[in-house]
A and B are shown apart, each in its own frame.
Chain A
Amino acid sequence: MSVIVHYLWLIPVLPLLAAGLSALAKQRQRVFAASLAIGSMALSLLLSCWAFGLTLSQSGAGHLYRQVVNFRWFQIGDTWVKLGWMLDPLAAVMLVMVSLVGLLIFIYSVGYMRDDENFTRFFCFLSLFGAAMLGLVISNSLLLLFICWELVGLTSYLLIGFWYHKPAAAAAAKKAFMTTRIGDLAFLLGMVWLYSATGTLLFYDSGKGCLETDALINLVTQSTSLGIAASTGISLLIFCGAIGKSGQVPLHVWLPDAMEGPTPVSALIHAATMVAAGVFLIARVYPLMAPLPGGPLGSGAALKVVTWVGAITAFFAATIAVAQSDIKRILAYSTVSQLGYMMLGLGVGGVAVGMFHLITHAFFKSLLFLGAGSVIHGCHEEQDIRCLGGLRKYMPITFATYAVGTLALCGFPLLFSGFWSKDDILHSARVWNGSHWPFYLGVAGALLTAFYMTRQVYYVFFGSCRLALGQTTASEQRTVEHAGLPARRHPHDELPPGPRESGRVMAVPLILLASFSILLGFLGTPAWPWFQGFLTGSRPVLAFGSLLEPAILGTMALSTLMVFLGIALGYWFYGRRALAGAQAPDPLEHVQADIFVLLRRKYYVDEAYNWAVVGLNAWCAKASDWLDQHIWSGLVQALVFVVTGLSWLNRFVDEVLFNRGFDGGCGGLTQGGSLMSKLQGGRVQRYLRLAGIGVVLLVLLLVWGCRAS
């Protein structure tokens, strides 16, 4: 076993240390906190690359490289609860992705958060997030994974609400935390069930782990009172956790709101890494989801659910994204939609298909978010795309990289990574033998994706600048008011009023991410499926011929058509003529006003939840309050009277009966003592006489005893 496997724990612990140290740092020690966070992440990246290289060199044809290190945590009765970490291709890929994207975003944050007074706290939270996410990736125990899972949830909460003085941010943080908790509850239940069924939560434990053959056979053959196999039940419960974390329908509502956090947070947590943790979780417990070829009927039911949820989410979120006007919200719905694609890929094609899209998406979506951040930063915190426009001239680097990200997300043919990964998913969906509908939904989603991204790009970067220059934007005003920044720190005082390109510290990560967005795609083309082979442990073969296979070619052609169609539609609506102004209605509104409003209001899901869940909760609270005031309070009052009465009685008994009795007794005792010590007259003659009398009395006692008995 290699050294790095033993020291794999260092990868999450380094950022954890950084978080701990910067938690102790003072608010003004900005350089310290930032360099700690970036340095620790860079070290983690190096270690991750080492681990990745090791995995790469060790995996060969036919066998999957997997090393685990388990250790005992604590004991309950006779059983030890064990935790552990593992290194396998899945973990290695995630490690490199998380630490690389994390490092780039950390660097970007230095520029983005430059003016924030809580800079130190921000980096503390970021490091903590990095630690938890990396720990989640390498954990070899569902329990450890769950712990890290909750920790990333916590940091997500902390970072969404980072500008807690904004009521919307505080509300969004609360919403995110509570919504994901619903999924986590099911996850916890699944975990408990798994533990009771297999007696372990370790994934791999040299034959005894819960994802290894023995346990799987046991789980598949156990059936429950619901008529499904235990493995299916557990998988579905765990999948509920993934639904919450990865923003799948119906728990997607928190993710768009989470955009209230700082943009680097949106990029790191709510686009690239944490939200993908649900996908990763499903990939990790995949053996449980799709156990044993030829297993009993219905054992693949969990995967069907995954597929359907993914497909529906992919389409559903894409439709909403079409009608949004907040630059980050559009991206958020796009993220939800892409996560749906990943789930779809997992369901129809297996781990490699879903994970490939996860990795490529992580790069191009964080690129898009960082680009959006750059736009927001350069335009005085303006997020409404209707108020932007024409930025192509002002921010060329941002525009170029954003365009790359857009094309990758749309799945522009051949050159961009999104094309290959999405195509892989669509191809698998097409040949899936369950139903054709997921495929249709996916194709429709691809069309919509291309459309809404084109719309966004036209809004933001083309046409003329619609920024209300010279006056503070509404969101900027809020930020300034709540943060209480001194006036001289205000951007207007130092900088020219127009939109401006971001500094180098923000531009460099953008360029790096853009290049990754292009290049990564070539690792998983049908001609050379290296990535898929790496994850499944088979050796890829370079075969350009497979590109021309009718099935693959057909899918590629179809998705290409969809992309072009989407872009063309976007141009038709938004590119032909410049928008009239910030207040002008959306061109789509002219065509179908009702549907546009429906989409704009996100199908009224939030309102429905508000009415149903929140309303029910409020009604229960009211009912409890009424019960409290009118029924329980009366009971308590009655009880109080009884207790008071008893205590009066008690006091009476105590004072009058016992105290006097006790005092009397004590007095008696003392008197007895005085009497006794009177025996001690001090005259020895008397002593001797008393002793003699004593002897005589004792003799008499015994003699009398003899008589009596």
Chain B
Amino acid sequence: MSYLDFLRLAIPETIVVVAALAVLGVDLVVLRGVETRLRLLIGTMISCVGCLGGVAWLLAFPQTGNFMHGMLVANPLTRIVMIALLLLTIATLLLSLETRFTPHIGEFFALVLLGTVGMLFLVSTEDILMIFVSLELTSLSLYILTAFDKSSVKSSEAALKYFLFGGMAAAFTLFGLSLLYGIAHSTNLGQIAQAIAQKATHASAGAGASHLTLDPVLILAIVLTVAGFGFKLATVPFHLWAPDAYQGAPIPSAALIASGSKLAGFFILAKVMFLGFAGAEGTVAWRAFLPGWVPLLAVIAAASMVLGNLAALVQGSVRRLIAYSAIAHSGYMLIALLSHQVEAMAPLLYYVMTYGLTTLGAFGVVGVVQERAGGDRLADFAGLGRSAPLLSFCMLIFMLSLAGIPPLAGFFGKFYLFSFALSAPGSGLGLLWLVSLAIGMSAVSLYYYLQVLKQIYVVPTAASGTSVKTPVSTQTVLVLLALAVLVLGCVPGLVLIPILSALRL
């Protein structure tokens, strides 16, 4: 096992890093005095080429390997997630083609790409140290990206909140991970799981009981680790940064936080839980409660769904509305993990990927409207259906997909996820209460999604404000995203079949 192997496994990440350096270099050295539009165009091009190169490499040279006991892992599943991440990043980049919030274009793109590199590494590791490092790489890039709109106070404020919150979450994570290391004397997830299982058998042997008793240290380790990821995924009670960040950050940054970062976060959370805490699940089945990470996540999921959906009801700002809806969606997604089956990856990944597409599109539309009307209040959307029919139609698809209306991807994602949670082997109908809550909360969520659509289609525009044309590139990306949401909803097999076959390997 040499470092050459490592490099070989890490070529996609390397390509993206090279692209990040290239975009930075080109922008700083060659394009200093050139007008912003061109710089944006070239920056976007280089970044997209980098991401596409990564995708192409992943598609052309599929590899499987495990470098240094899970330090870097490549298998079909990671490959799919990495491709999805890169594609989401490309969409984000294309959405930023028409933004004008910063003159520091090279830095912006480099940071987006570095954040993506962090996510890619996060996806392809099974080592807690690596997890922490890549988590931090991602987070730090996102903090800066949130603050990138220097002219806006809100952007800076949001970034600071995000950063402070993230710092504390990182501290929690690190503490949790170091406790884990203390338990297992290893940073590898598999070995950690073995150690936990050993401890558990000792404990249950000592207690003489059939059920699982958890070591207090392990409890602390679980809670703290979950807290760290919970911050990343904006779940209650670690969600408090999200509404401010979603509202304050520049549109591309917010879109990246909402889509790519979420995908990577959920994937690694699932991995850590399934692999690392394999012996400490516990159960939340009705009247058969056993402590472990499953009840923990169940509580968090329930709280996220309730709080996210209820708070979204009263939001006046569409971005905050999307933020709260994101919190609620994180709650739904956590349900998939509760079955603690590896097969749960399929509904989870389908849900997160299509959710990423949808929310990216929604942010794209919000960005255009913000350019147009100067704000993201609900009232700013009034009359959009008349003045920008195509854009409004895209928003219709995104909102309905988020609400889970057939035949859009959001519907199938919810349906598949809930039915999986109910039918997962072993759980029986134990998750029925949680799924019922989720479905009830989805019904509540329809209200605020329709509020947006009502503004767009029903409420007449207050004043014939400045009409800004939707940029062609943005429009194209949005139409493509809407199309993807529609097609994936009708033909979910396009995504699910590769995931399922990767899981089977």
Contact = CB atoms under 8 A, between A and B. Distances in A.
A676 B313 CA distance: 10
A677 B243 CA distance: 10
B160 interface: yes
B26 interface: no
A598 interface: no
Nearest to A668: B310
A679 B282 CA distance: 31
Interface string B270-296: 000000000000100000011110011
Given A673-B314, A701-B296, A706 B241 contact: no
Interface string B211-242: 10110100110111011000100001110110
A699 B175 CA distance: 14
Contacts of B227: 691, 694-695, 698
A705 B295 contact: yes
Interface in B193-224: 211, 213-214, 216, 219-220, 222-224
Nearest to B226: A698
A677 B314 contact: yes
Interface string A515-532: 000000000000000000
Contacts of A675: 310
B312 interface: yes
Interface string A680-700: 101010011011111100110
Interface stretch (B74-82, B161-169, B364-372, B409-417): B161-169
28 contacts: A673-B311, A673-B314, A675-B310, A679-B240, A680-B243, A688-B165, A688-B168, A690-B240, A691-B231, A692-B168, A693-B237, A694-B227, A694-B237, A694-B238, A695-B224, A698-B296, A699-B220, A701-B299, A702-B219, A702-B222, A702-B291, A702-B292, A702-B295, A703-B216, A705-B282, A705-B291, A706-B213, A706-B219
On chain B, which size bracket covers the interface?
35 or more
B179 to A, nearest CB: 12
Contact of A677 (B164, B292, B315): B315
Interface string A253-297: 000000000000000000000000000000000000000000000
Contacts of B307: 676, 679
B107 interface: no
A617 interface: no
Nearest to A665: B444
A702 B313 contact: no
A677 B224 contact: no
A680 B219 contact: no
Interface of A: 669-670, 672-677, 679-680, 682, 684, 687-688, 690-695, 698-699, 701-703, 705-706, 708-709
B287 to A, nearest CB: 12
B313 A705 contact: no
B243 A699 contact: no
B172 interface: yes
B244 interface: yes
B214 A676 contact: no
A703 B238 contact: no
Given A702-B296, A705-B295, A709-B289, A691 B310 contact: no
Given A702-B219, A708-B289, A709-B291, 20 more contacts: A673-B314, A675-B310, A676-B307, A676-B310, A680-B311, A684-B164, A687-B165, A688-B168, A691-B165, A691-B238, A693-B237, A694-B236, A694-B238, A698-B227, A699-B219, A701-B299, A702-B291, A702-B295, A705-B289, A709-B213
Interface of B: 160-161, 164-165, 168-169, 172, 211, 213-214, 216, 219-220, 222-224, 226-227, 231, 236-238, 240-241, 243-244, 282, 289-292, 295-296, 299-300, 307, 310-315, 444
Contacts of B243: 680
Nearest to A684: B161
B249 to A, nearest CB: 15
Contacts of A682: 244
B243 to A, nearest CB: 6
Please give me the 3 A-B residue pairs with the lowest Cβ-Cβ distance, nearest first: A694-B237, A705-B291, A673-B313
A709 B214 CA distance: 11
A684 B313 contact: no
B291 A673 contact: no
A679 B237 CA distance: 10
Contact of B237 (A684, A691, A702): A691
A672 B303 CA distance: 13
A682 B247 CA distance: 12
A527 B240 CA distance: 113
Contacts of B169: 691
A599 B243 CA distance: 102
B223 A695 contact: yes
Nearest to A674: B314
Contacts of A679: 240, 307
B314 to A, nearest CB: 4
B103 to A, nearest CB: 28
A547 to B, nearest CB: 82
Contacts of A694: 227, 236-238
Contacts of A674: 314
Nearest to B169: A691
Contacts of A684: 160-161, 164-165
Contacts of B160: 684
B268 to A, nearest CB: 20
B101 to A, nearest CB: 22
Contacts of B224: 695
